[in-house]
Amino acid sequence: MDIRDSEQIYNDYYEIQEDMDDSYIHVDPLTTSLQQIKHNEISNDLVDNIIGLYRLLDLCNDDDSNGIVDKIIISKEQLRKLCNDMVPSSFKSISEINYTKLNSISIRLIGCYGNRNLIAKLMLNRNIINQQIYDLLTATVSIDDINKPSLRPGIYLLKVNSNLGLIIHWPEIECYANSLSATKRNMVNLHRCLTKLTDHQMCFMSDEDLENFNFNLENTDTDTDDDDDTDDEYEVKKCQKEREDFKIDDGFKVNLSNRIKAEINNQMEDDIPLHPIVVESTTNQSFVTRQLIKKTSSEVTASFVIKEEFPTDLNIKLQDHYLRIDRKKMDMKALKLFIKYGLKMENLLDPLQEAITAAKKRNDTRKNREYDVIVEDIEIIKRIASIKLRAFESYFGKYIVQESPNQINISNEDLKRIQIKYPGIENQIEEKIKIDSRKWKKMKKRYNLTCIVINNMLEKINETENNDEMTKSAIKTFHDMFNDDEISSKQLLEKYTQKTQQSKLNWVSDWIFGDSDIKDIKKAKQKTNDKSDVEFIQELVNFELFEGHDNIKENIINTFIKEYHNWKKEIPNKLRVIFPNTQYNKQLEDNFGREFEKEKEETEKYMFEKICDEIENKYKNGQQLYEASYVSNYDIEAIYDTEVLQPNQLHITIYEVSLKEDDKLQIQENESYIPYPTLRNQYGTSFRIDPQKYDFKKISQFDNRKFLLVLYNKEKLRVEIFFDTAQRLAQNFKSRSIINPFKTLNADENFLIAINEPKGLLAIYNTKEAKLNVFSFDDNRSRLYGRNANIQLLKWYDEKIPNVKYFLFIKDTEELYFVENSGRARIFNLVNLQLRPVCNVPYNLNLVNVLSSPDGSCIMAFTKDKPEEDNPIIFTSNEELHGCKNDFKEINRVYVYFFKNFGGSFSKVIDLPLNFKSLEFLQISCIDNRQTHLISLDLQNGCLNSLLVTITLEKTQFHFQKCTPKKSPTLQRTKLNDFINAYKLMFEKYPIDGCIDPKQNCPLSLRVVLDTNIEEYGKEFEKYINKMFKNLKRSTKKPASSLNEFSISVITFQELDVGNANFQKTFSSKYLLGEWIIQLCCLIPIQIAVARNNLFQPLKDGLYSNEDDHNEENEDGKSCFDYG
């Protein structure tokens, strides 16, 4: 059974599914993990075998328009595992992480980098890994050995215990000694990530590292980054001092994965050739594998049966069939019917019901807990209101008695939580505690009106002498007016006009209670509306008129306080409106209802797969497929799919090879350097053709990375030529019902094809009629047109059809090379249209291949010869063959014919190395336009290998070639100062002090961990780093205040105890996990797509090479958008 969806990980269950080699391994995390590692096969990725180790940032090779580049990406699946291990269900996708939940965990973190052997030893000493894993971590691993277990370079989190984690920069091999630009750039970028994720770092250095550290070196490395573009330059290169020559040396080797190893060993099936092909190209390196896929189709039938007869009907249909359940068409409801009425195995549904019940219980518990929290929130809201009321009451001063402040205290944490949880709650409280009593407002208006009247009266009284009695009378009038029961303000004024006329103040009554009555009433009303209650109370308490009359003042204030207390009794009812509902909170119920439905859906999805697996495992025997796709409950309607064999499909996969920038630089420096090519995409680019319709004839690659694919359509009796990149070829064959060729040519199936990429020529030779047709590309490779049509060659062969075995272009020329079975060879010139005889190839030997050098300077004939005595004309650099040729049944040889000797015998014969056997797949190609390689596939050892070819031309002693200025003047440096210089290199490339948020400028602390006595080195490192930073500030002139607080110390490996509480307290920082993961995710921008070859191509996890072309069943997967 093949399950494609391996993205979803269910951390709420006791089983974790892990997709490995198209199958699931079921792991119980409650079992002892260390024992499991001992008994299980070690994974190629050692992160899977180290408990508590999580990859955060991955250093990956990716395809770029200029070759293979290194990219740092977030390891999404490992981050998912980390989050869900820390807080279950906190990570659902990279865009849906519950940082709030993660913030419930705090952890101390320390950065680690340096010598990888010492870092592994630290893990071994703390029993985090066993000896077997330690040996694998410290083993010397070839960069091409992709099948050996290893730990990829990157940033990792190692959970030492619940409180401490180590952030480990696991480096590339010898990255601190390697001055190559890409390796150094990776080291600097990863070190920057390390210092952004931790404030404290430990640098591990062995005795050997320390011996190679130069404390007196002022400028250990002046090359910080090599990204600057330079103009192309050309140089005159001397390529020959003596006579022409042809030499071979060992070349590159690209180890292939086990899956590709199996693919290249396909040979023949159902009379269809499946052997691999090294693609012919003078400028690019690639190869093709082929597989025969036996496809099936389904016959869909529907059955209508009553429920009682369904089991019998199902048993009949399952005879001689194995059962598979269509996950796309059948849902859980249909599956329940299928189990209940068809299989009669209702016990299969018990775990589902138990899981749903448990989910419901968890949901109810969370909901009840949330209601409890709401009750607590209401109490806090009441306290907030009480605090605000108490603040208002404080304006009454001594005249009011308040609650004890201890009874209404609120912690800052609770207050902040309420403010976040209920935005605007304080404004709502203030609205509700505004005094809206009508009586209070009337009292304010009465008070203001009385103040206006009495103030006017006092102004007149103060103009007279002996006015004390009149002042007392006025104050008495104030008291009486304010407390009078009269409701109407106008009648109140009229009443006190009469009283004043009958008192000692009768002489001012006309001045005070005259025509200004209406004016004073309006003025009092306006003053009441304009002044807030707080301002009014302050004025009331501080009113100077009452000096010496405290009893009157207290009486008036108490009147207001009494009304305030009457109004205050209604506050609880007013606040209840803004309280969250504790009985039935619809929003809360809806939220938890949705959460339960979502958890129920995930549970059913997980259990659906598990139940289907269990059913299929029970009914796994049979020759044909029976597939249940739908069951309905109207009686029983069951739809069955029965497997029917369909025509085979030829599965073609193209693997492209590319060089890293460092290799190109090394080749420029030394043309004998052996590069390390890698596959652009480990899964290649795949598509399928119908072998009943098409014969695979030829494939070649041009310098624009486009492939020229030649197929013969047996139905339409024509040649169909396709010309495009591998991705667009795959898109053409995958997504379109009608395949659109680049060019079609009517022809029978008896033809040979020759391609000359440098000249843009294609020739087709009809072997039955000895007829030649030549086609040519236009300048921009957009059209293929006929150049020479129907050239008859019989006249040069005495009107007899020659038995041509090899047909090829002499590259970069306009000449075609014909080799017959007899060994006779001829050259046809497309300019003068003449065929001339040349030297014969070794026809009496086992001739297996003939090739032209990329520049057309020589022809190579490859043979499998029987051993013979040493021949003076045979030269070999392979010492294995000297004196022992008779020990081998055959020897692989190449016969070299230089251009000037095409009319004579071969110029040189060379024995090929013993491990270079597959001559049938040989092609010759130029790497980076500098090195020439013979390339083949080693089927036995599973690799793509080459021989470096040096061709010396006597007549061409000098030539122009493009060169790149040397990028690294310190290539010969052997000192290991980059252990410390990593900080200098990082600060040269990146800012030292942040200019946006100065709070993020945390000073760094470095502790050098030495595997030796430290007494003599502490001061040395401190002096070195002080001098280094001083030079850095002077050279970069960047803001660098944080460097002043940089600290460095030294400790021995034996003394190091990261588990010690005091050590952690002084040499680690504490982080909230959620905020720290946000910082991690912000380090790396996520690239979602790239425009290339006129296509908008989506990326997976930021990588172009993750494209799922390898997934043969994923026809509806990732697609490209064509700009036209």
DSSP class of 1103: B
Which distant-in-sequence residues (6+ apart) come within 8 Å of 397 by Cβ?
541
Residue type, 717: L
Closest CA to 1016 of 1008, 1028, 1027: 1008
pLDDT tens figures, 499-537: 766 665 565 555 555 555 778 888 888 888 888 888 888
Q: Given pLDDT bands bounded at 50, 70 and 90, which one contains residue 291? A: very high
d(CA 220, CA 981): 8
Which distant-in-sequence residues (6+ apart) come within 8 Å of 367 by Cβ?
588, 589, 592
Quick one: pLDDT at residue 633?
A: 60
d(CA 80, CA 283): 42
User: For 335-351, what is the HEC assignment?
Assistant: HHHHHHHHHCCHHHHHH
Quick one: pLDDT at residue 973?
A: 42
Q: Where are the domains of the chain?
A: 45-228+977-1086, 245-292+649-771+785-962, 296-422+580-643, 436-573, 1087-1124
How does the average pLDDT of the chain come out, rounded? Answer: 80
Roughly how many angstroms between the first and final C-alpha of the chain, as a whole number? 40
Residues 60-73, mean pLDDT to the nearest whole number: 73
Residue type, 306: I
Residues 244-271, mean pLDDT to the nearest whole number: 89
Residues 479-491, mean pLDDT to the nearest whole number: 83
Tell me the chain's radius of gyration from C-alpha atoms: 44
Highest mean pLDDT (candidates 58-62, 106-110, 1082-1086, 1106-1110): 106-110
891: helix, coil or strand?
A: strand
Q: Given pLDDT bands bounded at 50, 70 and 90, which one contains residue 1122? A: very low
Strand ranges across the sheet with 858-865: 846-852, 858-865, 891-898, 908-911, 874-875
Q: Is the pLDDT of residue 339 over 90?
A: no
d(CA 403, CA 1076): 44
d(CA 92, CA 8): 8
Asked if residue 201 lies in contact with residue 112, where contact means CB atoms within 8 angstroms, the answer is yes
Asked if residue 121 lies in contact with residue 1011, where contact means CB atoms within 8 angstroms, the answer is no
* Least confidently predicted of 96-110, 382-396, 507-521, 796-810: 507-521
d(CA 81, CA 78): 5
Quick one: pLDDT at residue 677?
A: 92
* Least confidently predicted of 331-335, 602-606, 960-964: 960-964
Residues 1072-1081, mean pLDDT to the nearest whole number: 91
Alpha helices in 97-180 (DSSP H): 99-102, 116-125, 131-138
Q: Is the pLDDT of residue 907 over 80?
A: yes
Q: Is the pLDDT of residue 704 over 90?
A: no
- 287-291-293 Cα angle (round to 5): 150
Q: Is the pLDDT of residue 601 over 70?
A: yes
Q: Given pLDDT bands bounded at 50, 70 and 90, which one contains residue 1114? A: very low
Where residue 971 falls (left for φ over 0; alpha for ψ -120 to 50; beta otherwise) is alpha
d(CA 529, CA 531): 6
What's the fold here for domain 45-228+977-1086? Rossmann fold (3.40.50)
Q: Is the pLDDT of residue 21 over 70?
A: no
Read off the tokens for 855: 């520049």
Quick one: pLDDT at residue 37?
A: 39
d(CA 800, CA 1086): 66
Highest mean pLDDT (candidates 93-107, 237-251, 509-523): 93-107
pLDDT tens figures, 137-179: 988 765 556 667 889 899 999 999 888 999 999 998 888 876 6
Q: Which helix (H) or strand (E) holds 429?
A: helix 425-432
Residues 705-726, mean pLDDT to the nearest whole number: 93
Sheet strands (E) in 531-677 = 624-632, 636-645, 649-658
Q: Given pLDDT bands bounded at 50, 70 and 90, which one contains residue 277? A: very high
Q: Given pLDDT bands bounded at 50, 70 and 90, which one contains residue 327? A: confident
Check residues 546 and 707 and name the one with the higher pLDDT.
707
Q: Given pLDDT bands bounded at 50, 70 and 90, which one contains residue 971? A: very low
Q: Is the pLDDT of residue 968 over 60?
A: no
Highest mean pLDDT (candidates 293-302, 574-583, 1039-1048): 1039-1048
* Least confidently predicted of 390-399, 462-471, 828-837, 1103-1112: 1103-1112
Strand ranges across the sheet with 761-766: 751-756, 761-766, 771-777, 784-792
Q: Which helix (H) or strand (E) holds 605?
A: helix 586-618
pLDDT tens figures, 195-234: 999 999 999 999 888 888 888 865 444 444 444 444 556 6
Neighbours of 311 (CB within 10 A): 14
Q: Given pLDDT bands bounded at 50, 70 and 90, which one contains residue 754? A: very high
Q: Long-range contacts for 41-45 (Cβ within 8 Å, ≥24 apart)? A: 42/132, 42/133, 42/136, 42/149, 43/149, 44/146, 44/147, 44/148, 44/149, 44/150, 45/149, 45/150, 45/151, 45/152
Tell the residue number behind the tokens 């030539």, with chain if given: 959
Read off the tokens for 797: 């062969």
pLDDT tens figures, 392-411: 888 888 888 776 665 678 88
For 408, 551, 569, 571, 1098, the CA distances from 396, given in Å and listed in that order, are: 19, 16, 18, 19, 70
Asked if residue 830 lies in contact with residue 817, where contact means CB atoms within 8 angstroms, the answer is no
Q: Is the pLDDT of residue 1061 over 90?
A: no
Query: β-pairing, 931-938 with 233-238?
Result: unpaired
d(CA 951, CA 169): 45
* Least confidently predicted of 92-106, 979-993, 1089-1103: 1089-1103
266: helix, coil or strand?
A: coil
For 69, 174, 642, 658, 1046, the CA distances from 178, given in Å and listed in that order, are: 17, 6, 61, 21, 26
For 46, 57, 368, the CA distances from 31, given in Å and listed in that order, are: 20, 28, 33
* Least confidently predicted of 243-252, 482-491, 539-548, 599-608: 539-548
Check residues 113 and 576 and name the one with the higher pLDDT.
113
Residues 588-616, mean pLDDT to the nearest whole number: 87
The values of phi and psi at residue 1107, to 5°, are -60, 135
* Least confidently predicted of 156-160, 236-240, 269-273, 941-945: 236-240
Residue type, 982: A
**Stated length of the chain:** 1124
Q: Is the pLDDT of residue 1018 over 90?
A: no
d(CA 496, CA 509): 9
Q: Given pLDDT bands bounded at 50, 70 and 90, which one contains residue 737? A: low
Residues 749-759, mean pLDDT to the nearest whole number: 93
Quick one: pLDDT at residue 512?
A: 52
d(CA 81, CA 89): 10
Check residues 240 and 99 and name the one with the higher pLDDT.
99
* Least confidently predicted of 27-31, 468-472, 931-935, 999-1003: 27-31
Residues 990-1012, mean pLDDT to the nearest whole number: 80
Check residues 558 and 505 and name the one with the higher pLDDT.
558
C-alpha dihedral, 547 to 551 to 552 to 557, nearest 10°: 100
Quick one: pLDDT at residue 628?
A: 63
d(CA 698, CA 1023): 66
- 1078-1081-1084 Cα angle (round to 5): 150
| Sign of the Cα pseudo-torsion (980, 984, 990, 996, in order) | positive
Q: Given pLDDT bands bounded at 50, 70 and 90, which one contains residue 1007? A: very high
Tell the residue number behind the tokens 């430290």, with chain if given: 1014
Q: Given pLDDT bands bounded at 50, 70 and 90, which one contains residue 854? A: very high
Q: Given pLDDT bands bounded at 50, 70 and 90, which one contains residue 29? A: very low
Q: Is the pLDDT of residue 886 over 70?
A: no
* Least confidently predicted of 143-152, 446-455, 472-481, 1016-1025: 143-152
For 118, 250, 336, 882, the CA distances from 918, given in Å and listed in that order, are: 43, 15, 57, 21
Residues 980-990, mean pLDDT to the nearest whole number: 90
Q: Is the pLDDT of residue 757 over 50?
A: yes
Residues 815-832, mean pLDDT to the nearest whole number: 90
Q: Is the pLDDT of residue 26 over 70?
A: no
Q: Is the pLDDT of residue 448 over 50?
A: yes
Closest CA to 884 of 864, 863, 867: 867
Residues 697-710, mean pLDDT to the nearest whole number: 92
Q: Which CATH architecture has domain 245-292+649-771+785-962?
A: 6 Propeller (2.120)
Q: Given pLDDT bands bounded at 50, 70 and 90, which one contains residue 18? A: very low
Q: Is the pLDDT of residue 1090 over 70?
A: yes
The values of phi and psi at residue 935, to 5°, are -120, 135
With a pLDDT cut of 90, the percent of the chain lying above it is 26
Closest CA to 849 of 912, 920, 913: 920
Environment class of 487 (CB within 10 Å of its CB; exposed 0-12, middle 13-18, buried 19+): exposed
